[in-house]
Every structure is written in C-alpha cells, then in structure tokens.
Amino acid sequence: MASLVGSRVERKEDKRLLTGKGRYTADINIANQTYAVFVRSPHARAKIKKVDTSKALKASGVVGILTGEEIAADKIGGLIAGWAIRSEDGSEMKVPANPPLAKDSANFVGEPIAVVFAESLDEAKNAADIVKVDYKVLKGVINTADAMKGEAIHDGIDKNLCYDWLLGDRKAVDEAFSKADKIIKVDLINNRCVPNAMEPRACVVDYNTASEEITLYTTSQNPHLSRLIMSAFGGVAPENKLRVVAPDVGGGFGSKINVYNEEIVCSWASKKIERPIKWVAERTESFLTDTHGRDHVTHAELAVSNDGKFLGFKNETIANLGAYARVFGTVTPTYLFGPCATGVYIIPAAYSNVKAVYTNTAPVDAYRGAGRPEATYTIERLVEKAAMELGIDRTEIRMKNFPTEFPFKQTLIHTVDSGDYVAGLEKAKQMSDYNGFAARRKKSEANGKLRGIGVSSYFEACGIAPSAVVMSLGCGVGLWESSEVRFNPTGQVSVFTGAHSHGQGHDTTFAQIAADELGVTLETVDVVHGDTDKGTFGMGTYGSRSLAVGGIAIVNACRKIVAKGKRVAAKMLEVSEDEINFKDGEFVVTKSNKKKTIGEVAFACYLPGSRDSDFKSPLPEGEEPGLIESSFFDPANFSFPAGSHISEVEIDPDTGEVKVEKYTAVDDFGRIVNPLVVEGQVHGGIAQGIGQALHENTEYDETGQLITASYMDYTMPRADNFPEFNLGFTCTHATTNPLGVKGCGEAGAIASPPAIMNAVIDALDGQEISMPATAEKVWKACKLLKKSNSKAA
Amino acid sequence: MKTFNYHVPKNVKEASKLASTSSAFLAGGMTSVPSMKLGLATYKDIIDIKHIKKLSGIKVSGKTVTIGATTKHAEVANSRDVKKAIPSLTKLAGGIGDAQVRNRGTVGGSIANNDPSACYPSACMALNAIIHTNNRKIEASKFFKGMFETALKKGELIEAVEFQIPVKSNYQKHPNPASRYAIVGVYLAKHKKEVNVAVTGAKSSVYIDKDLSKALSSSFSSSAIDGMKLDSSEMNSDIHASGDFRASLVVTYAKKAVEAC
Ligand SMILES: Cc1cc2nc3c(=O)[nH]c(=O)nc-3n(C[C@H](O)[C@H](O)[C@H](O)COP(=O)(O)OP(=O)(O)OC[C@H]3O[C@@H](n4cnc5c(N)ncnc54)[C@H](O)[C@@H]3O)c2cc1C
C-alpha cells in the first residue's frame, strides 16, 4: 500500500468549505435566542462615572441590560495572562485586573462597558445607542516608545511597566563587544498588525435550565482551553456544566486563542436571563477588540570581526502589551522572542532585554509567528547591514556563522535537534538565481527603476511545547496534546484530537497519518475536533503545534490500537504475538501467511461472546472488549523549522511603489505529511509577512482612536500584491518525535518581513526605512537617495 | 442600520417626487449602504432607481459617448463601443475598486456623491461632460462644487452623462492601497483646441490643473511638464499621503498619462 504521508492529498474539508456548506458560529441559531450588542468605550482612557440604562431598558424589544456592576457582584472573573514572567531584578510581573465588563475605568477604544440583549439585532443596537455612560476622559498613553514616560494607566503599575525582563549575560556581551572590530546597530519598529481573520469573532450561548449546562459555540482556536479558563478563572460554570464548541472557524492567526469578554459575558448572562444569546462581531469591533500582533520598538547591536564572524548580540526592546495582559501576551515578547533573536547563527555572547508596557490600545497577543517574526526581523536586519558594512556577500556572511553540527546549542535556551542551514541557503540561492541578480538590477535601472535583493535566514522554536520547559518558564499549563482513536465495530475510525483546525487542514493531514498507521483507507478515517464533549482534553492550535504535538498523540494512540490488535489477532490466529507482523492493515503470521485484517480484528473486539457454547472469545485472557485507545503526548523539545527566503523588489522612485518581483522560500519542516497543505501554509504565511512589511498600517492617533479601523484605510495585501511564490524544501527529520515532523504554520510570516525589507533597503542603497514600507516613505527615501547621489557625483 | 422606507418608483418623475431632505436615491449602494451600516448616514426614505430602464445604457455618437446614470462600472469597462471611442474611459471604469464594486457601483452614483477621491469626476472634467438631469443640463465645470457637494438640487436626478470624445486621452491613478480609490488620479484629454488635465484625489474636489493643462497645450510631451512643482498647500493630507507627496504624484502621473497617449 502506498504511503499517504508525503502525498499531495486534496483537502477533505474543502468540499464543505468551498461550497458554502461550512458551519460557522454565526450560522448557528437557537430557538428563542436573544441578540447581544455591546456598549463600548469610545475613549482610549476614561473613568466611568455612571452607566445609566434606565431609558434603554424601556426601549422596544429589550430583554435585559447588564453592566460591570452586575458582573462584579456575581464574582465573575476577568481575562487572564497565561504566563508569569519575572523581571531581571526577580520581581513578579505586574498585571492589572481585566474585568469582562469595565466597571471603573475604560482603557482602550472598544472596551466593553455594558451589554444589551434584545429580541432582534436592530432593537439591541438601538437600545445600546441610548445606554448613557458618563465618562471622565483622561489623557491616554498611546505610543509604545513613550509609554514608560506617561502617567500610570493602571493603579499601582509604575511607569506602565509590566516587567523588565532579561535573558542572557550582559557581562559576557560587554566583553565580546569590547573585542569586536565593528559594531552594527539598528533601530527598528516592528509594526502592529490587526490579525483580520476572515470570520469575525462570534458566540452563541445556550443555557439548559434543566441540566444547568451552558453550551457555548464560539470562534476559538482552543475550545478545551477556553473552557478551562472560563471555568477556573471566570467562574462561569464548573467544567462539567460547560460545553465549548468551536465549529468551523474562519481563520485565527492567534487572535482566537484568548477567551474574550464577550464569551464570558454571554455565557454568564445566558444563565441569568435564561435565554439563548447570539453575538456576532461587526468588522469594526474586530478591528478594535481582537488582540493585535507585534508592536515592538527595538534597538539591537551585533558585534562582528572584520572577517565577518559574529561575536556578540544585544537586543533592547520595548514591547507594547496594549491595555491588558492576555493569554500569550506576556510570553510572546519574552520567551517566544528573546531566545530566537540570535537567529540561525553561532553568537557566543548574547542577551535580550524586553520591557513590556501597557498603553491605551487594544491588547496585543500572539499573531502568526508570535515573537519569532520580531526576532527574525531584528537579527536579519543586523546581519544584512553587517554584510553591507563589511563588504561581504550577504549569503557568505550567513554561511560563515551557521552552525554545521547538530544538535546545535543556541546561545539563549534552545538546543536545536536537527537542521541543515547551509543546504537551505544554497538551494534558495540556486532556485532564485541569486547570481543573476546583478543583470536583473541593470535591466531595472535601464527602465528607471531601483531593484533590490534581500535574504532572510531563520529558525524558529515551535510545536509548543514541552510542558516541563514551558512551565518552568512561567506557563500556567502544560502544553502537551491528546488524541483518542476509536474503531467502530464495522471498521471505520474516528480520530479525536485536542488540536483545532481553522484553516490548517487537519481533517486531511491527521486522517493521512492515522490511515497510514492503521493501514486503512483515507475515507475510513474521520477527524473530530472542536467540541469539549467529544474526545479528550486538548490545548488547541497555535504555535505550529498541531502536527508536531497533536499529530504525535494520534500516532501513539494508533500504535496502541495496533498493539492491542496484535494481541487479539494472535489469539484469533492461534499463534503467539511475536509470530505476527502488522503491515498495510493486516496482521500476518510470518510463517504461514495466515492473516486477519485490522477491520476483522476490530469487529472481533466488539463481539467477544456468542450463544454458541463452542465459541472461543477472540480476546486473550484479561483483555477488555472494544478497540479505543488514547494518548497524551508531551514532546521532549520544541520543533525547530528553519530555512532561507530570498526576495527581489523593484521600486518606482517617482511613485514610491514597491513591487515584489520574485520570492523564493526554501524551508525545512522535517518530514512533510502533505506537500499541498504545507505549500498552502507557506503561501499564507508569506502573504501575511509581505502584508506586514509593505502594507499593513495599524495607526492610532494621539487620542487613542484607531484610525485604520476599516478596510478603507487598513491595507490588507491582495493577490495582485504578490508574485508567484517559488517554494523549495529541505527535509531533515526532527529527532524528537516519531514522525520526524516540524511545524510549518508560522514560518512564512516569520521569514518574509526581513526578506522583503532587506530587499527594499538594498534597493535604497542601505537607507533604513520602517515597516510598512508604504509608497510615501519609499518615495521620500528615493528623493534623499537622488540628492546624495547627485552630491556624490 | 436604522429602519427606512424602501421605494421602487417606476419612472423618473415618481422618483423625483418621492425625494426629500431625508431621502437618498439608491443606485449601486456602494457608498450609501456602507455609510448607513456604519451609522454615518440615516435616511427616512430610500428610493431605488435601479429599475428605471431609461436610466441605464450606453450610446455612442460621432462626437459623444452618453452613459445612463445607473449604468454599472463593469458595463462601461466591458463596452466595446466605449473602448473604441474613449479607451481611457473603459480603463477608468475597469480600475474602480474591485469586481464586486464594479458590478454594483454606477456612474450617476459616483458623480452625485462627488467623493474627492472618486475617479469619474475627473473624466467628466477632462472630457467636458454634460450632466443630464431630469430638468436641465449641467456642464461638468459647474457641477462639482466641493467635497461631496454638487450642483444637484433636492429631488434632482441624474439621467445620463454625456462625454465629449477627445482626440487622445488617458487616465492614470495612484490607488489608495487599502480602498483602491484614487490617492491621485489624473485624467488627461487632448481635444482639438485644448488639453485638459483633470485631477482627482489631490484636493477637496476634482479640478483642472491649469498649469499642467497650459504646458501640455503648448507642447504635448512629458518633457513639457517634467520637474514642474505644484503648490501643495491646498492638497489633501492624510495617513496615506501628505500634500507634498500628492503634489509630486500629480506631475508624475500626468507625465505617465502623456506617455501613454
Ligand atoms: C471598496 C470600494 C472601492 C471603491 N473604489 C472606487 C474607486 O477606485 N474609484 C471610484 O471612483 N469610486 C470607487 N468607489 C465608489 C463606487 O465606484 C461607486 O461609484 C460609488 O460608491 C457611488 O455609486 P453607487 O452607484 O454605488 O451610488 P449609491 O451608493 O447608490 O449612491 C450614492 C449617492 O449618490 C446619490 N445618487 C445615486 N444615483 C443618483 C442619480 N442618478 N442622481 C442623483 N443622485 C444619485 C444617492 O442619493 C447617494 O446619495 C469605491 C467604492 C467601494 C465600496
């Protein structure tokens, strides 16, 4: 039987999703449901003096209105930060309370203050308009770089500082710097991005007054985790009385990890008003209140020798958390960022120092890549600049500092099990015709255009993550994953996973894995996820963990099935277990070639008895009936995908427009389960990264209004912004899991921003420019370039 | 969205009669519907004019191209007759927004709305258009009054726009990267006696750039305007482009337009 793992199987879920038959949260309606509309703060920072609902309560169709007072009175907990980070001085991080409905103060535009439930959406909206909130408007703290100088926005949090964190050794770094020939310096802004999942957030809550169970349908990347948080921290209901279902979810990118205000409020309220509740975000609400990504201000330095060896690295970053610390908010700019900032290089001395600050802006949390794009941008800008200043070819300087032996103990934290960075970059050079660039540049110049080339070599730590490690770093939970594999008596297989698919294609790839392990057809296997009532507990999907952690739990559960199958087959075939070989779905007696298929064995497992007195049970002594196994997999290490991307851009100096002419990506994701799905993941990631580099322009004005809160102003990249992506793979298998796989979901978004920006800056002859490199910024840089060129001439 | 009364008049007369200070005509709905959804505009009456047959269609004569008010951008973009007579007009229509917008948005709606960054107003100005309404004919130069402001009176309905066929013409636009409206749009038309350079996106309303028009009237080549510096003091400035950038883009795209003619 040909192996399914490794083949380009078309996505099973696409038939449903592409024909409009997906079932998203907003598609769910429950008889007698009410509609929720939230009253939100129009101010970035204000004291809430009074919330007057009297007039709104009398408006047509209103069923109820709830405010921060009521939720506080019912002792419903707030939103949480999932990781505890310590400052360099050993002190605990400072986290403000984040109530689901703000009671005393509002800290960003869009923060929910009250909620209206009505018989229709229109009535709810009309009533929400007349809820009167008396605010005392205060001057907000908006800007990342200046946040520590602003007035404290949360009581008791001096300088708006959550923590001042250090990873690495300052002394060793100073020493390395003192011996360097040259210090390369960059000042960078990693621009804030709005994740913009295609499906806005939504929730539908159904409270069963008889069983007292709450069912929450929601747009979540991790329904089990959501239930745990809502139960343990929110106190909404005990876990056994709370069912969380995340049906089809239209993209998350990190923005659907958090349990949000609306889910907590509607779940709590459904019990209170004893009616089902439906809430669907409008696009503006998504812009204002989905967790955003990135938003770093970084000063970084690389100490080098004249022959291009890297000696030391320092990274001083201010990371904006927004108004509150959320689930991955505090770890994203620390452990997901700091260790990766030394990149794919041997750098003997390094440190990352991060100050995380609160501002009156939407909370910032994990966004595709979470910390690793920021890390890669930092080191890859430095490396490119070092090559330029030292006059060494940009690929040569990288090769010079790549480790060639694995496991590679990276300076900060990680031990990378496997990889071949040289092979990746060589392949990228060849695929992109790196050596032909000079000729292409000449041609562009003849047309009055500027052409640049940019390289980005990256590695990342994903497949999060070993529980022992993450918990020692401050994570509130262990990040293992689980699976249960069930054979029906008639031979079909249900694979339950704690991971969640919202674009990743698990229905297909997970089925491929299970089908191969069990020797059954792809059609026989169904993947079930997204419902806390179905299957075992799981931690969800983010951090490119679904395959490298969740997939392995499936493999292990399947192997337990096969092990039991073997025992049963031995009994059925009247041989000893070690005389049996399992291959392609058949238990074969090696000597006699007698066999039982796994389907026959499954059937037998469910029929261990008979009215026939001569009947011999197929089950060995003490073996339980049934064929269901589960596994919890806790990985030994992160997985470390890596690769090199090379981009070429052309700039029109008169209009400032940047056109991405070529894009080559060579990635190492270990063993590839489905190339089609992986390519899709890489395409999406690159598109998002190019979006960040050239287009996406989250902008708050000085009063904290998000002025890019719609697609009329926020630039999403579109298909015509991209060239054809030229993809290649090197596949060094991971040594830390039985499949040899590494994560692939975030790589594109991690590698591409520096690949693009390095190319833009190359075209601009080394002139620094910040992301997004919009037309006007580039046009201005081109003017300066013209000036300095004419001076030089 | 607030509730409103929805009317489907059978003819122009009925449509005009229904109009009041708190009504809007519904053509493509590409501007009115989003602004109603966002609560930026509320109307008591919405008067759907899409079903009035007379308002839609394209007529090309020897000297003019006349486009009915409710003709969709996509219809103009795909019209062979228009392409033959004024190719730049099909290009303009084909470059508006995206496919969904072009399949709904209309000429009449576009110019009645007079968004400072809309494309059509520049075509009207450059092509000496005459706007036919239900009770008069208005020259383009007298039609566009200022930001979102036109010469239309209450209840006045645009029936068609009549464009003069030029000797040569071209439309160039620097799109807003997010919305794809014009950050700057330059409509260049060379008529027998004059050259018109109409500019949209740059100021509070569409205008004819006199300096560029004059320079190109005396010498129709991009070198005639190369290096020209426009006054940026009245140019729009926003998160996407400063006044200075816009001023520079106007000249850049005027040059591109000449070269493309
Ligand atoms: C995403 C997006 C991108 C866009 N990009 C561009 C672009 O690149 N370039 C561009 O030029 N435009 C652009 N538009 C605008 C679009 O082209 C429409 O032309 C415009 O929205 C108005 O036309 P409409 O038919 O939709 O008018 P409606 O929205 O139906 O009406 C708009 C206004 O015009 C009035 N009106 C409509 N018809 C008449 C009439 N016959 N007589 C009198 N008054 C009338 C209505 O009362 C209303 O006040 C864009 C729109 C969107 C949503």
Mean pLDDT of B175-201: 97
* Rounded Cα distance, A158 and A30, in Å: 47
Q: Whose CA is nearest to atom 31 of ligand 1?
A: B109
- Report which ligand 1 atom has the smallest distance to the Cα of B107: 19
User: What are the chain B neighbours of A774 within 8 Å (beta carbons)?
Assistant: 177, 240
B225 Cα distance to chain centroid:
25
Best CA proximity match to A356, nearest among A525, A164, A501: A164
* Rounded Cα distance, B162 and B100, in Å: 25
- Say what percent of chain B tops pLDDT 90: 97
B239–A776 CB contact, under 8 Å? no
> What's the first-to-final CA gap in chain A, in angstroms?
70
Q: Is A196 on the interface with B (CB under 8 A)?
A: no
Cis peptide before A407 (omega within 30 of 0): yes
Strand partners for A641: none
Q: Which class is A480-633 in CATH?
A: alpha beta
Residues 6 or more apart from B61 whose CB is under 8 A from it? none
- A725's tokens: 């992506």
Q: Is A90 left (phi over 0), alpha (psi -120 to 50) or beta?
A: left
A656–B245 CB contact, under 8 Å? yes
pLDDT of res. A535: 86
* Rounded Cα distance, B55 and B158, in Å: 8
- B149's tokens: 């402001």
A613 Cα distance to chain centroid:
59
Enumerate residues 709 to 728 of chain A having a beta carbon within 8 A of any beta carbon in chain B. 711-716
Query: Quick one: closest CA in A to B243, which residue?
Result: A776
Dmax (CA) for chain A in angstroms is: 104
Enumerate residues 115 to 134 of chain A having a beta carbon within 8 A of any beta carbon in chain B. 122, 126
Confirm if A194 and A365 have CB atoms less than 8 A apart: no
* Rounded Cα distance, A704 and A151, in Å: 15
- B260's tokens: 């493309």
pLDDT of res. B1: 77
pLDDT of res. A28: 98
| pTM for this predicted structure | 0.96
* Rounded Cα distance, A748 and A686, in Å: 4
Residues 6 or more apart from A689 whose CB is under 8 A from it? A373, A748, A749, A750, A751, A752, A753, A755, A756
Q: Whose CA is nearest to atom 36 of ligand 1?
A: B109
Q: What is the pLDDT of residues B25-34, one digit of tens each?
A: 999 999 999 9
A715–B241 CB contact, under 8 Å? no
A707–B239 CB contact, under 8 Å? yes
Mean pLDDT of B152-181: 97
Please indicate whether residue A614 or residue B189 has the higher confidence score (pLDDT). Answer: B189
- B4's tokens: 């409103």
**Best residue of A60, A658, A776 to probe chain B, by most B CBs closer than 10 Å:** A776
Please tell me the CATH code under which domain A14-138+199-250+256-289 is placed.
3.90.1170.50
Domain with CATH 3.30.365.10 in chain A: 296-465+637-792, 480-633
Torsion, Cα of B195, B200, B204, B205 (10° steps):
60
User: What are the chain B neighbours of A695 within 8 Å (beta carbons)?
Assistant: 177
Walk me through the domains of chain B, giving residue ranges and CATH numbers. 1-52 (3.30.43.10), 168-260 (3.30.390.50)
Q: Kindly report the nearest CA distance between residue A23 and chain B, in angstroms.
A: 24
* Rounded Cα distance, A338 and A238, in Å: 37
* Rounded Cα distance, A55 and A47, in Å: 22
Best CA proximity match to A501, nearest among A291, A285, A745: A745
Q: Name the helix (H) or strand (E) containing A662.
A: strand A658-668
* Rounded Cα distance, A590 and A594, in Å: 8
3-state secondary structure of A471: helix
User: What are the chain B neighbours of A713 within 8 Å (beta carbons)?
Assistant: 178-179, 239-240
Residue A619's Cβ-count burial label (10 Å; 0-12, 13-18, 19+) is buried
Mean pLDDT of B225-252: 97
Distance B32 CA to ligand 1 centre (A): 7
Which residues line ligand 1 at a C-beta cut-off of 6 Å? B 24-32, 49, 69, 73, 96-97, 101, 104-106, 108-110, 112-113, 118-120, 152, 157-158, 179-181
CATH topology of domain A296-465+637-792: Aldehyde Oxidoreductase; domain 4 (3.30.365)
Best CA proximity match to A83, nearest among A332, A296, A289, A308: A332
Confirm if A269 and A66 have CB atoms less than 8 A apart: yes
**Best residue of A715, A722, A771, A782 to probe chain B, by most B CBs closer than 10 Å:** A715
C-alpha dist (Å) from residue A501 to A246, A574, A764: 9, 43, 41
* Rounded Cα distance, A719 and A208, in Å: 46
**Residues of chain A predicted below pLDDT 50:** none
Query: Quick one: closest CA in B to A283, which residue?
Result: B38
Question: Residue A493's CB: how many other CB atoms inside 10 A?
Answer: 25
Residues 6 or more apart from A311 whose CB is under 8 A from it? A176, A177, A179, A180, A303, A304, A305, A347, A348, A349
